[in-house]
Every structure is written in C-alpha cells, then in structure tokens.
Structure 1
Amino acid sequence: MWTAPAGDDSRATAHALLLSLAGTLVSDPVLQHAANGRPEIPGLAVSLSHSRSRVAVAARRTGSIGIDLEDVYPREVSGLARRWFDPAELEWMAGDLHAFLQLWTAKEAVGKALGVGLRNSGLRRRVPFGDGPVGSVPGLYVVRLPLDGAVLAVALDEPPVEIVLTEHQGTALRSTVRSRTSFPVVVRGN
C-alpha cells in the first residue's frame, strides 16, 4: 500500500500513484474502470481512496483488497453514527471521532473488497472493533494501519501477517511502516 499527499486533484493523484504501485507488480499496467467506477488493472486486485489531504492505494496479485482513508479533523459525526451504526457500535465508539472513523473506514474497505462499496446496506455491515475477521462477511479480514492525521483501514480475503505501507512525498519516498498481525499470510504492497 502506498500513500501520498492529495495534491490539487486527488483523483488524478490516486490514479497516478496506483499505476506506479501496479508497475512494481506487473509490467505495463493499464488502469480501467468498471461500469460502477471501480478501478481495475488487469492481473491485479486494486483499491484506492482519497481524502482532503492524501491518497492511499493498494494492489496485490491475487485475492481481493479494499482500502479506505479518512482525515482526522473536528466534525460532528453523531448523526451519521445514530443513522447507520447498531447499538453495540454506538456504545463502543461512545461519541469518539477516532473510533467512529475506525468503524467507517473498515466498513468502506470491506465494501470495496467485496466490489460493492457501501451499496446493499454496507454501512450496516458489522466489522470488528479492532483488527481481525469480519464476522458479517466470512473470509474477510480488516486491519487498521497507523497514519499521522488519518485513519486507514484495509480489508483482505486472507489474513495477513505483514502489511507494508509506504508513504511518498511527491516523487520521494518518505517512510515505510510495517504492520505485523497475528494472522498467517504475508501481504506486501510494494
């Protein structure tokens, strides 16, 4: 997985970053879009997300993947939470913005991994409060990764042992974070 500043056009930045990442996995990647707008690169499972300030992309050779990113900044989320989250989720988040964003990004990442986004009651889909299997969707796993000023979640159809998140600043590499989990398979983004 790679992240970078959003720039003036976050969608264009995300597409360029996704093509760069894909180029490390397949030769001459071509970005296409499904009828529903989902990005596709033949030979890879891909996902992208963009916020006000940054973009995040993910790619892998097999399986499915979904990624979602939200900036952390003060905002009112209790109305959204009451509308879409069940009582256990509301109790767990207890009005905390960061907890809300952890649930929201996990739900979005799961929807992207399934290829349906938030359609079909995606925001009502139960996700784990921490990293782990998605009880409401057997075979999917959610992992949250540390990122300053943002919440980032990834959903995979196999449990990862290691996820590599590489942050870029323009064309320069900024930092790499390795997130270890207790799951038994290795997933690398770069």
Structure 2
Amino acid sequence: MKEHGQSDLDPAHVWVSPVEENEDQRSAAHALLLALARSLGGEGEVGHEESGRPVVAGLAVSLSHARGLVAVAASRRGPLGVDLESRREFEVDGMARRWFDPVELTWLRQQPDQLEAFLQLWTAKEAVGKALGRGLRGSGLRRVMPVDGATTVPSEPQLAVLRLPLQADAVLAIAVPVTTSEVRLTEHHGAALRSTVTSRTSFPVVVRGN
C-alpha cells in the first residue's frame, strides 16, 4: 500500500548550487540536501550508511560535489544517484581505453567534443554506482552505459541514466528508476526563476533556475 502523497509518478528532484572557494564542500552539500529533503517532507538530519551513502528518513537521496559546485538529489521513490564533474582539460584517450567498453569507446571517438563525451560517460557510471549503493566498486567503471540517446542501463534494466543540461561549467548525470515520470532540475545561481521543459530524454526533464 502506498503512503499518503506518494506514487510511482513522484518526480525526482536535483538541486545544484555554487560554493565559495573557502567553503567546505561536504558541509555545503549536506546543507543543500537537507533543504531539498525538507522541501519534500523528509524528516530528521542527513545520516550515513557504513558505505558512506547519505540517508534521510522517508526519501532516496544522493549528493556530489565538484570544483565550486555541489549537487544533491532526492525522491520519494528510489533508488537514485547523482554525480557532478567540473569541465577541465586532461588526457582522455588513455583513461577511456583503460576503463571503457569498446561500444563506449566507439561512441566517444565519434563525438565532436571527446572531453564532454568522456565526462558524460564517467558521471553516468558514478551515478548508477551510487543508485546501486556500491559506487564504482566491483568493476563499476566497466559497467556499460547507454549511448546514442538511450537511457536504460543495459546491465541494470530497472535504472535509467540521464545527462542533465547545466548552465554551470560542469557535467551532471542522475540515475533513477525507469518508472520515474519526471526529473526536476533547479540551479541556484541568481535572483531570476526560469522554467523550461526539454524532451531530449524518454521522459520530461524540467529545468528551473533561481
């Protein structure tokens, strides 16, 4: 029986916020996650499992941080995972050949921006690992991610992974159950509130900035 106010159609929420250079990113991520959780009716503080996975009573949650940014995700239906990586120059080919499946390598080398493509695959793998509660342990980097517009994870057909468009100079992915009806992304970066809907995925992504 479903609890009051919950359904399989409940959206997943992602909040992204900048942090100051001298601010502790872990603390900032916990504060942002707590604010998101409370907006959805979550109770209590942010706790952690032995693995380090964050826990909030009544919600599935995840968090990530990168240079100058934190991202948190929550939904009333889980599991889910979120990962964020800042764009930065580094040697892509060697890491891709070491960790990526031939299908992923072929796709990456066909992309006009291979750094962007690499980060999309990497964040997807991280997000799926977090949703599974294992991170990248147990050959998580070798877990094949969907490409060419697909969203369902081949080895985990109960999960979909989405690349979310950010105004910030970073790449973000979220893994959610395939039954998720909608993902709502909110970027905190100014006073204006702006909403759009994009259909680049198999289900709606609502993008909000405030």
TM-score (norm 2): 0.81
Corresponding position of 2:19:
6
Identity %: 56
Compared with structure 1, are the counterparts of its residues 27 and 74 closer, same or farther at alpha carbon in structure 2 (3 Å cutoff)?
A: closer
Compared with structure 1, are the counterparts of its residues 6 and 79 closer, same or farther at alpha carbon in structure 2 (3 Å cutoff)?
A: farther
Counterpart among 141, 154, 160 of residue 174 in structure 2: 154
Q: How does 1:1-190 map to 2 (within 5 A)?
A: 1-7=14-20, 8-94=23-109, 96-129=114-147, 130-148=149-167, 149-169=169-189, 175-176=194-195, 178-180=197-199, 181-183=201-203
Tell me how large the CA RMSD over aligned residues is.
Answer: 2.4
Gaps of 5+ in 2: 1-13
Residues in 2 aligned to 1:173 and 1:29: alpha-carbon distance in whole angstroms: 30
Gaps of 5+ in 1: none
How much does 1:61 deviate? 0.8
Aligned residues: 187
How much does 1:27 deviate? 4.8
Whose radius of gyration is greater, 1 or 2? 2
Residues in 2 aligned to 1:53 and 1:157: alpha-carbon distance in whole angstroms: 29
Contact 2:198/2:206, CA 8 A, preserved across alignment: no
Residues in 1 aligned to 2:181 and 2:95: alpha-carbon distance in whole angstroms: 33
Residues in 1 aligned to 2:183 and 2:164: alpha-carbon distance in whole angstroms: 9
